[in-house]
Structure formats: C-alpha cells, structure tokens
Amino acid sequence: MLDIKNLTATAGGTEILRGITLTVNAGEVHAIMGPNGSGKSTLAQVLAGHPSYEVTGGSVTYKGQDLLDMEPEARAQAGVFLAFQYPVEIPGVTNAYFLRAAYNAKRTAQGLEELDPMDFLDLLEEKLKLVEWGPEIMSRAVNAGFSGGEKKRNEILQMAVLEPSLAILDETDSGLDIDALKIVANGVNALRRPDSATLLVTHYQRLLNHIVPDRVHVLAGGRIVRSGGKELALELEERGYEWLTDAAGAVA
Amino acid sequence: MTATAPRATEPGWLAALRREGAARFEALRFPTTRDEDWRFTDLAPVAKANLGAARAAGPLTEADLTPYLFGHAEWPRLVFANGRFQAELSRLTGLPAAARVEPLADLLADAPELVEETLGQLAVQPASAALVAQNAAGFTDGYAIVLPAGAVVDTPIHVLFVSDANAVLGTTLPRNVVVLGANAVASVVESYLSLADGVALTNTVTEASLGEGARFDHCKVQREGAEAFHLATFDARQERDSYLNSFSFAEGAAISRTNIYTTLAGPGAHATLYGLYLGEGRQQVDHQTRIEHAAPDCTSWEVYKGILDGHSHGVFNGKVYVHPEAQKTDGKQTNKNLLLSETAKVDTKPQLEIFADDVKCTHGATVGSLDAVPLFYLRSRGIPEDEARTLLTYAFAADVLEEIRSRPVVDHLEDLMRAWLAKAGRRGRAAAGRESA
C-alpha cells in the first residue's frame, strides 16, 4: 500500500525529516509516536502534499504510484486522506457544498458521474450517524466557529464520505474529551477495511486504547528510532520518550 | 443637454437649482487627481470625451429586460432608457394608495412641493459637488418615491436605468428622490445596465430623506458596458431611529465612481453600508463612503469587499465623521480586498474623524491574495486547484451579499459573481498557458 524509503524533507530550509523508511500494508494500522518536534506531523503533511514542505530526498510509493509526483488533489482522488491536526475554517462555504465538491471530484477522477444534491443527501445520512450528528451540521460553514471536538469530528465525517484507502490521522486525538475521543475512534474503526490502511500520528497512548495498532513507530529527530508491536506504546506511556530520544541523540 | 429638460413647468426653486448647478459645473468641471477626494481615480478620459446628451433610445421590449428582473417581473418597476421614462415597460400597480412611486418629472409637474425639501438639499458633500452640479443642471428624469407616515411597501421597487446604442457618446443624468415619512418602509433596487457597448456617461444622483423610525433598503447594481463611465452619488439624511441599509454592487464600466453618503441626524439612527466590487482588465472601480454621525446614540456598520483581477484598480475611501454632539456613537468600518493577479491593485483608505469623546469606533482594511492553508485544505480533499481557488474567492465575498434584504437579489448577484469567477478562472488558465508556452 505505502512504501516510504529514506524520505528527507525541509521546511524553510530546516531539515525536519532525516531519512524515514516505513512500509504499511493493506489492512494494517500503524501508529507514529514521538515527542513534540520529532517530525511526525511533518511526515503526515508531506504525504498529503503540503506546499510548506520541500522533499529533498527519498521516495514514497503508494499503490505502485510515485506519490511525491502527484498534486495534493490527485493524491486525495487516489485515496489518500489526511485528517488535519488543525482543521481549517472556511467561512462562506457550507459543509454540504464542500463535502459534495470533494466527493464529486473523486467520482469525476474515477470516471463516474457526479452525484446531484438530493442523492448526495441520502448518502450523507448514513455518514452522519457514524459521527453522531444530525443534518443541521451540513448548513454550517466548514469548521467556522466549531469547537475543537467538532472540528475533529468533521474530519472523520469527511473521511467517511471519501472512504480513503490510506487514512492519515494527524493528532486527531489532541484536545478531545473522552466522549469525543470515543466518537472519533469508533468512526475510524468503522471505516477500516481489509483493503485500506491507517496511519495514526499521536503523542499519547490513549487513542491506541480505542484504535489498536498493528505496529508502533517512534520518531525522534526526524528518524524512526524504534518500531514494535502495540506493547511499545504502553512502554512509552510508562517510560516517556527520553530513553529513546537520548539513544537517537547518541547515534546522531 | 438643455433641449430635453421639461423646463416649462418647473417651479422657481428648481429653475434656481439648475442655474446654480450649471454655473457650478462650469466653474468646477470634472474633478482631477489633484483633488484629495479623487486622488486615485482619474476622470480625465471622461472630461476629454466631451460627451453631449444621450439620444432617445430605440425600441425596447420586455424580453430585453427579462434577464435583469431577478426572476420577479411582477415587482413594481420603473424603466428609464437613456434617461427617458418607458411607461409601457414599467408597472406601478400593487402599491399602497397613499404611496407616490412615479417618474420624478411627473411628480415635479404635479406636486413639486413634496420633494422641495429634499431635491438638491441632501447631496451637498464637497467631494461630489461637481457631479451633483452637472446632474442638477441637466437631469430630465428619474424615480420619485414619497411615502406618508406609516406607509409600507413590502416588495422591492426595481428601477432600471438602461442604455442602448443611442446612448453611445452621450450623457445620461438620472435624478432620484426618496422621501419617507415617519415609520415608512421602502426598498429600492437600482440597476444600471448597458445593452450596447461604447463610450457613454451615466452621472446619477439619488437623495433620500428618512423620517423618524423609517427604514430604507437601497441596493445599487452597476453593470454598465466595458467602455462606459459610471458616476453615482447617493446621499441620505436620517432622522431619529431611522434605518438605512445600503448595498453597492459594481462589476461594470471602464471607470466607475460610486459615492454613498449618509448623515445620521437624529438620535438612535442606524446605517449599514455594504458593497462588493469586481474588477478585471483595466477597470477602475472606486467607492467613496461617508457617514456623518451628527447626533448621539447612533450606530453605523460598514463592510466593503473587492476582488480585483487583471490590471484592474480598486479604490475604497471610507470616512466616518463623528461630530462633537454625537456622543455614544458606535461605528465599525471594514474594507477587504482580494487580488487575483499580481498586476491588480487597490488603494484603500478607511478614515475616522472623531470630535466627540465618548464613542466606540473601529476601522480596518486588508489587501491580499488567497491564503495557502485553506487552499491546501480543499485540495487535500480532492478538489482541483482551480475549483478550490474559485470556491475560496466566492466564499471571501459571499457573506457580504447576504446583507441585501431581498433574497432574489442576493441569489442573482451570487450567480453573477459565480459567472465572473468562472471567467476569471479561464483568464487565469489562459495566462498560465501563455507563461508555460
């Protein structure tokens, strides 16, 4: 599904990713953990094609395609989805319009006909249940005036509508109370398919109580310094990141 | 321009107004950029064109107007073609019996005293003096609305000022008067349209007197031809607790200047001034607003937005002037501009002049291009870059259109904006194609 090899990237001339190598197979959930500034959010955004980062080396292959050569919209149309750490407010564009535009862009890319507003509303009804929302959310402007929790739920709603093959969740758990966290986690779990994969970027272990990862990777200083099973997350919860980052420092 | 004016029946005060206007315009001529109020808009092309009076329009049919009626052909309507009233195309039914809604020339012939205290008395700001003088000297007609106390006209009154090929190389001088008695309510949409291309000048003046507790919605839609010159002055006087809601939409004309002025003359008066201007090519689109807070406890709220493409030049000059007696004034003024090209430019000058000590006033202006982060957000959801840009540009301006009271007008202007943006998108792609070629 996703094959990252020796990926390096900079932001404003500063090197942030210093050689990431990672393979994610269909059906798997991988957690990317690490202290603040380790580069885990950068990795998520580079995969989605954020223009603030410059890829300086390495390769990313997604379903056999060179992901780095694709525009952000092409990546999305091919099934890559980034749930933003800070979802963007877009006053003046309703959630309904936005979601339908995104959904139809994907259909058009697949050579399918666009869905008209009525048919799209039917489809939405199902998706809204997943995040425990009523239809009134659709007439609100995208994320405008939403609480932190609402914004994250809206990301999951978008994910439910777009049904990605590769879902990248960038600190989707941050700033959520336990109820919102459960809604978000249930949504992510419900959307898992044998032919899709999930990359969870998180600082804390608590999300992994709800979405159980197959693999856990620890990022520090722009590199993966340790990979392991789900028990690695528990060990990090207990011991913190220092023992790993110190080791990484020594290597560097 | 004197040949067509119905002078014979005019009262003495109006004849005097015309004489003063003629003398004043003779002395002032069109303003130049040396005048601070006209610094950013050069009317030299207008002066140089030296245009005479517009000739009478050719035959006009209902079908010619249909695209411009907001889907509501049944609204009360006054149609003027090249400045002349078109009775067959107008409909003045369904209005309250006491309401006078008619061509100004008719009202002046019949009951000039109804507008004597308004016509020529409100549009007195020095910045607009030359334009108002030219208009006073030569105007032939326009609309008059006189509502007695308590009269309510629910549906918008649509006034269309249409120019056809016979207006080319000519001047049209519409003059409009609105007098609302206490608690009267009226809503007007003024449309300025060209049915033919060519150099032509419209110089329109509207004066509105709002009695105590009156409400007036004024929406101006300027869609003149690509070579046209459009000059407009709106000036209102608001008594106690009255409410003016003004909107100016400008997408047409080579050079346009719209003055929107109001004086809050009685305590508790409230004014909201909104506008949206779209510029492309080498269009010059200028708005000047002035809100005079002349009484205590008045509020004003103003939002103007501009989207400029190509080599167009947008100008916003807004002044909120708070007189010493206008304590407890609450005023907010905002101007936001979005530049779609590197060659478009904007001069924005929001100004506060405050001579009272207990007031709450703020103002601000922005000029910028689309933010990268929302653009990426939309693209990350699969929305192509062109479409994402259009969507964000639309979103930038759409909220201000919502301030127009009449929903069909909002819908229509949204459609116009979408069409304009689609055109801008095609221009952008064509330019990108040239660059990469």
Kindly write down the DSSP assignment for every residue of A207-237, as one continuous string.
Answer: GGGTS--SEEEEEETTEEEEEE-THHHHHHH
- At residue B1, the pLDDT reads 43
Which of chain A's residues have a Cβ under 8 Å away from the Cβ of B392? 90, 93
Q: Complex ipTM, two decimals?
A: 0.94
Helical segments of A81-208, H only: 95-109, 117-130, 148-162, 178-190
- At residue A247, the pLDDT reads 61
Q: Does B399 touch chain A (CB under 8 A)?
A: yes
- At residue B437, the pLDDT reads 46
Which of chain B's residues have a Cβ under 8 Å away from the Cβ of A75? 380
DSSP designation for A116: P
Q: Does B377 touch chain A (CB under 8 A)?
A: yes
Nearest-by-Cβ selection for B381 from A91, A92, A162: A162
Which of chain B's residues have a Cβ under 8 Å away from the Cβ of A106? 382
Interchain CB contacts (distance < 8 Å): A and B: 74
Query: Looking at CA atoms only, how far is residue A98 from chain B in angstroms?
Result: 8
Residues B416 and B276: beta-carbon distance below 8 Å:
no
Count structural domains, chain A. 1
For A205, the domain range is 2-251
- At residue B8, the pLDDT reads 63
- At residue A234, the pLDDT reads 86
Residues B396 and B304: beta-carbon distance below 8 Å:
no
- At residue B135, the pLDDT reads 98
Tokens 């209102």 -> residue: B236
* Residues constituting chain B: 437
Query: Looking at CA atoms only, how far is residue A48 from chain B in angstroms?
Result: 7
Nearest CA among A76, A172, A93 for reference residue A138: A93
Query: Looking at CA atoms only, how far is residue B384 from chain A in angstroms?
Result: 6
Nearest-by-Cβ selection for B379 from A72, A84, A109: A72
**Running along chain A, 252 residues long, what does each successive block of 10 average in pLDDT?**
96 94 96 91 96 95 96 96 94 91 94 90 90 90 92 93 95 86 88 94 88 93 92 86 69 40
- At residue A251, the pLDDT reads 42
Q: Do A75 and B378 touch (CB under 8 A)?
A: no
Q: Do A90 and B376 touch (CB under 8 A)?
A: no
Residue segments in chain B with a per-residue pLDDT below the cut of 50: 1-4, 6, 437
Nearest-by-Cβ selection for B382 from A84, A88, A105: A105
Q: Do B380 and A49 touch (CB under 8 A)?
A: yes
User: How many Å apart are CA B31 and CA B171, to the nearest integer?
Assistant: 17
B319-346 per-position pLDDT tens digit: 999 999 999 999 999 999 999 999 999 9
Query: Looking at CA atoms only, how far is residue B376 from chain A in angstroms?
Result: 7
Q: Does B384 touch chain A (CB under 8 A)?
A: yes
CATH number at residue A167: 3.40.50.300
Contacts of range A171-179, beta carbons closer than 8 Å, 24 or more positions apart = A171/A41, A171/A85, A171/A201, A171/A202, A171/A203, A172/A83, A172/A85, A172/A200, A172/A202, A172/A207, A173/A202, A173/A204, A173/A206, A173/A207, A174/A85, A174/A202, A174/A203, A175/A148, A175/A149, A176/A148, A176/A149, A176/A152, A177/A149
